[in-house]
Amino acid sequence: MPKDDGIGAATTRREDPRFLTGKGRYTDDINVPGQAHAFFLRSQVAHGRIASLDTTAAAASDGVIRIFTGDDFAGVGGLPCGWQVTDRHGQPMQEPPHPVLAQGKVRHVGDPIAAVVAETLDQARDAAERIDVDIEELPTVTNMQSALEDGAVRVHDDLESNLCYDWGFIEDNREAVNAAIAGAHHVTTLELVNNRLVPNAMEPRAAIGDYNVATDEHTLYTTSQNPHVIRLLMGAFVLGIPEHKLRVVAPDVGGGFGSKIYHYAEEAFCTFAAKAINRAVKWTADRSEAFITDAHGRDHVTRIDLALDENGKFLAIRTDTLANMGAYLSTFAPSIPTYLHGTLMAGNYATPLIYVNVKAVFTNTVPVDAYRGAGRPEATFQLERVIDKAARELSISPIELRRRNFIGKDQFPYATPVAVEYDTGDYHATMDKLEEIADIAGFSGRRAESAANGKLRGLGISHYIEACGIAPSALVGALGARAGLYESATVRVNATGSVSVLTGSHSHGQGHETTFPQVVADLLGIDAEQVAIVHGDTATTPMGMGTYGSRSIAVGGTAIVKALEKVIAKAKKIAAHLMEASEADVTFADGAFTIAGTDRSVAWGDVCLAAYVPHNYPIEELEPGLEETAFYDPANFTFPAGAYACEVEVDPATGEVEICAFAAADDFGNIINPMIVDGQVHGGLAQGIGQALMEHAVYDEHGQLLSGNFMDYTMPRADDLPSFVIDHSCQTPCTHNPLGVKGCGEAGAIGSPPAVVNAVIDALQSGGHDVDHIDMPLTSCRVWTAINADTGS
């Protein structure tokens, strides 16, 4: 009998009463006695030389404690980049410095020039207006193609060019891929843009630096998905503070989508300034500031060629991508278009030859880094779009063409030509499930109904794969990661049998406080209520790498399982002692230790008590207490996959796209809490649909962000979306972690954009419009323009 609060139970989220009643505790809710407030004077131009910077008048403003400029940080390290990519020619990427405060030059709108610390935020702002700064404007580069032209303005004077790297994957396959494409029966080519996005977490970033002069200890409260990583990066590489003198606390975090992985200048600034003025220093971004300082996502320009034989079998794939890095390298930026993108280019298909080229480019824009899906949506989008185009060119149904090329169920483990090995999957099963839940058979009837109302109805299919459970440390190390990607957990059993789990994962909305106890409850046979999750504080949790890349249950959850196994092993010894039995005869199930084949047993609670009150205890052989730590480094990535279908209606008179239906059949392996999985899929789909139809960070040629607020940057709202039909009953459990889980956090955002675009193209073609691609976002204006540019209709 499954436990009603164990693995597989759809228990309600434990954190919701707190969040829904305003009792969450976010970084901005924290106020340290005596804290001062920081305000950043930011560049309003995208590129310029700071000709002069005079803070004298500002420093005399009311309430000003101190004004900091780049000079104060001359002796401080820059913000480090956590991944070094090696290019096609074996050379390391170009890695420019990333100062905390601008050193002589500003390189994007929002680059911090100076920071005022004052008694109140208003005073800091008032003073910032009195800073006399003279910026000599320089020409800007925002467009990647022009940034790579000879003689282009350079974002970094010290670099040879704006090219960060020219990466080939796998370089040795390049010629074979070119040859296969040259000789193929049919080649489908598509040029496309993966639009730049602003992450827009509901909670803007914030940081409070605190310093205790008596102990020389620093505390940073920050909005982070990975406090330990921030402690390591900032302590070791920026400010030179050893770990034992630096505590990083990330309390409740209100969304991140990747943008709160990275180490940002404001965190280093507040930590540094707190010591300099010997008072806590607090900063909270306002929304406009978030738009121009949070790392953006996506921003690729790609050309993809797909070669097929006369039976529609994929022979080779070649892709060339320009990936925008922005003005500086954000923490994990170089890895996103490479190892999180190139490695996924096989998709679900048995394509023998693949070559991926990526040129990463510096521009005068906000840095770009991982955003929900990170690299995998970019891979999936181009692949699922080009397959759709090929299907149309060859008059094969898009579902059939995909099926013809799926990696078969019996082919796992399957080594792709892009260096990863899929452990398990069943793509026909997810496609079958999709056909059922999306009622693909009934589509033509629905199309006819739409036509009767003057609307063009389209159906779009996509089938994605993603690599989650990031990541085997040795592997990523070999690929240039400057960090390990294991996860940790301490299971602390209390004397009365309740449990605290101290984890290096850190929820920023995923519901770890609900799902992790379900795992513990299941394995220990106790109530989930008896389990508390402690996370987000380097002082209490073991060194862990945090939450992103759909890794928390697969890697963090496994660390918990490993720690629990150690706890159970020790508890068995104690139980054996209490029952005067041999350890080998003791079994543990449903919260009780039993001597196999007898009815003699001792309860979990009694064993826990004995561990902490060791009167009758094997003290010679066993330490008292019941607390174990495990670090788990995954053997492989996990590979969730799924089939998505989107149905749209297009109004040909206005180009307006309405999503009528969206169905998702995902294979996430085993599932801990189906309701939370539903929520993750819903959120991912909303973001993916947002990318496909609405969201766009647009820079003009002067480097001004035109869509820099919610009046112009379109976030999807509930009434823009249909009621989703989702299913996760197709389950091929992961073969290399004990829970058999794969992760579900990013899937929706990865699989949905191509489904939406494919649906719109299908709708337009059904109306006789000769349109085979429109770049995202498919705004009504873009769709109408495409219809009317098409002369074939």
Partner 1 sequence: MYSFELRQPTSIGGAVRALADGGQILGGGQTLIPTLKMRLADPGVLVSLGRVDSLLGICTDDSGRLCIGGATTHAAVAEGGGAYPALARLAGRIGDPAVRNRGTIGGSLANNDPAACYPAAVLASDAVVATNARDIAADDFFTGLFETALDDGEIITEVKFPVPASAAYAKFLQRASRFALVGVFVARFASGVRVAVTGASESGVYRWSEAETALSAEFSPSAVDSLSVAPGGMIDDLHGSPEYRAQLVRVMTSRAVAAC
The residues that touch partner 1, with contacts defined as CB under 8 A, are 122, 125, 129, 288, 653-656, 694, 696, 698, 706-707, 710-715, 720, 779-781, 784-785, 788
Number of CB atoms found within 10 A of residue 580's CB: 8
Length of the chain as a residue count: 793
- Cβ nearer to partner 1, comparing 448 with 706: 706
Nearest to 31 by CA among 206, 262, 212: 206
Closest distance to partner 1 from the beta carbon of 208 (Å): 22
**Cα separation, 600 vs 586, whole angstroms:** 10
- Cβ nearer to partner 1, comparing 129 with 175: 129
The CA-based angle 521-524-525, given to 5 degrees, is 70
- Cβ nearer to partner 1, comparing 243 with 656: 656
Tokens at residue 492, please?
């602390």
The residue type of 268 is A
Closest distance to partner 1 from the beta carbon of 707 (Å): 6
Handedness of CA 172, 175, 179, 181 (dihedral sign): positive
**Cα separation, 329 vs 247, whole angstroms:** 25
Q: Is 675 exposed, middle or buried (0-12, 13-18, 19+ CB in 10 A)?
A: middle
Strands 132-137 and 48-54: antiparallel
- Cβ nearer to partner 1, comparing 13 with 298: 298
- Cβ nearer to partner 1, comparing 103 with 288: 288
Closest distance to partner 1 from the beta carbon of 463 (Å): 29
- Cβ nearer to partner 1, comparing 51 with 706: 706
Q: Where are the alpha helices (DSSP H) in 585-673?
A: 604-612
Closest distance to partner 1 from the beta carbon of 655 (Å): 8
- Cβ nearer to partner 1, comparing 506 with 769: 769
- Cβ nearer to partner 1, comparing 267 with 289: 289
379 and 344 in contact (C-beta within 8 Å)? yes
Closest distance to partner 1 from the beta carbon of 130 (Å): 13
**Cα separation, 276 vs 268, whole angstroms:** 12
**Cα separation, 97 vs 73, whole angstroms:** 13
- Cβ nearer to partner 1, comparing 500 with 707: 707
**Cα separation, 294 vs 258, whole angstroms:** 10
Closest distance to partner 1 from the beta carbon of 419 (Å): 40
Inter-CA distances, 308 with 180, 383, 599, Å: 9, 13, 66
The secondary structure of residue 93, as a DSSP letter, is P
Closest distance to partner 1 from the beta carbon of 716 (Å): 9
Closest distance to partner 1 from the beta carbon of 780 (Å): 8
Closest distance to partner 1 from the beta carbon of 556 (Å): 36
Inter-CA distances, 27 with 239, 244, 317, Å: 21, 22, 46
- Cβ nearer to partner 1, comparing 38 with 391: 38
- Cβ nearer to partner 1, comparing 178 with 780: 780
Query: Which residues, at least 6 apart from 48, have a Cβ–Cβ distance to it below 8 Å?
Result: 105, 106, 135, 136, 137, 138
- Cβ nearer to partner 1, comparing 42 with 572: 42
750 and 643 in contact (C-beta within 8 Å)? no
Closest distance to partner 1 from the beta carbon of 784 (Å): 6
Query: Which residues, at least 6 apart from 39, have a Cβ–Cβ distance to it below 8 Å?
Result: 115, 116, 118, 121, 124, 125, 127, 128, 283
Q: Where are the alpha helices (DSSP H) in 617-738?
A: 674-693
781 and 657 in contact (C-beta within 8 Å)? no
Number of CB atoms found within 10 A of residue 444's CB: 11
Closest distance to partner 1 from the beta carbon of 711 (Å): 4
Closest distance to partner 1 from the beta carbon of 111 (Å): 19
**Measured in Å, how far apart are the chain's first and last C-alpha atoms?**
62
Query: Which residues, at least 6 apart from 714, have a Cβ–Cβ distance to it below 8 Å?
Result: 690, 694, 695, 696, 777
In angstroms and rounded to an integer, the radius of gyration of the C-alpha atoms of the chain is: 27
Closest distance to partner 1 from the beta carbon of 73 (Å): 27
**Cα separation, 562 vs 487, whole angstroms:** 11
- Cβ nearer to partner 1, comparing 583 with 700: 700
- Cβ nearer to partner 1, comparing 439 with 720: 720
Strands 36-42 and 281-284: parallel
Which of 300-323 are b and which e, b meaning 16 or more Cβ less than 10 Å from the residue's Cβ? bbbbbbbbbeeebbbbbbbbebbb
Closest distance to partner 1 from the beta carbon of 781 (Å): 4
Handedness of CA 164, 78, 294, 25 (dihedral sign): positive
- Cβ nearer to partner 1, comparing 671 with 694: 694
516 and 503 in contact (C-beta within 8 Å)? yes
- Cβ nearer to partner 1, comparing 286 with 620: 286
Which residue is listed with tokens 């390189």? 107
Closest distance to partner 1 from the beta carbon of 141 (Å): 21
- Cβ nearer to partner 1, comparing 169 with 662: 662
242 and 185 in contact (C-beta within 8 Å)? no
**Cα separation, 638 vs 642, whole angstroms:** 13
Closest distance to partner 1 from the beta carbon of 451 (Å): 18
730 and 621 in contact (C-beta within 8 Å)? no
Q: Omega of the bond prior to 722 within 30 degrees of 0, cis?
A: no
Closest distance to partner 1 from the beta carbon of 546 (Å): 32
